[in-house]
Amino acid sequence: MLARLGLEPGEEEFYSEQLSSILEHIDRLQQLDTETIAPTAQVVEVSNPLREDVPRPGLTQEDALANAPAAVNGMFRVPSIQEET
């Protein structure tokens, strides 16, 4: 996704600085000693937020396809996908 962001001329430096500082921060996190800490997938202390099985309106087909680069007959069109080898 990031790779697809379009940058205006002149913005390159601004964003390269931002990106560098993010990477530096990650480097810093890597230095922490986590040997004794159990893997943590969740820090939010909520469990079981379940939803009742009741339908609610979604998007129309037109809205669903509105931002698609290409659509044909109500379907998203994507480059050829081949499973066969």
Partner 1 sequence: MPDGWDVVIGMEVHVQPRTRTKMFCGCAVAPLNAAPNSYVCEICLGLPGTLPVINKAAVEACLKSALALSCEIPRHTKFDRKNYMYPDLPKGYQISQYDLPMSVNGHLELNGRKIRIRRVHLEEDTGKLVHAGDKLHKAWESFVDLNRAGVPLMEIVTEPDLRSADEARDYAMELRTLLRMIGVSEADMEKGQLRAEANVSVNREGSSELGVKTELKNINSFRALHRAILYEVDRQTKLIESGGAVEQETRGWSEAEQRTFSQRSKEFAEDYRYFPEPDLPPLEIDPDWVEDLRRTLPELPGARRTRLTSQHGLSAAQVAVIGGDRDLADLYEGAVAQGAPTQPTANWIVNEVAPTGKLLAPQHLAELMQMMGRDAISRDQAREVMPIQRPWPTTEAGRSRRCRH
Residues forming contacts to partner 1 in the complex (CB under 8 A) are 1, 41-42, 44, 46-56, 58-61, 64-65, 72-85
Beta carbon nearer to partner 1, 36 or 48: 48
Q: Provide, rounded to whole angstroms, the least separation between the CB of residue 5 and partner 1.
A: 12
Distance in angstroms (rounded) separating the CA atoms of residues 25 and 19: 10
Cα-Cα-Cα-Cα dihedral sign, residues 48, 54, 56, 58: positive
Q: Which residue has the tokens 């037109």?
A: 62
Q: Provide, rounded to whole angstroms, the least separation between the CB of residue 28 and partner 1.
A: 21
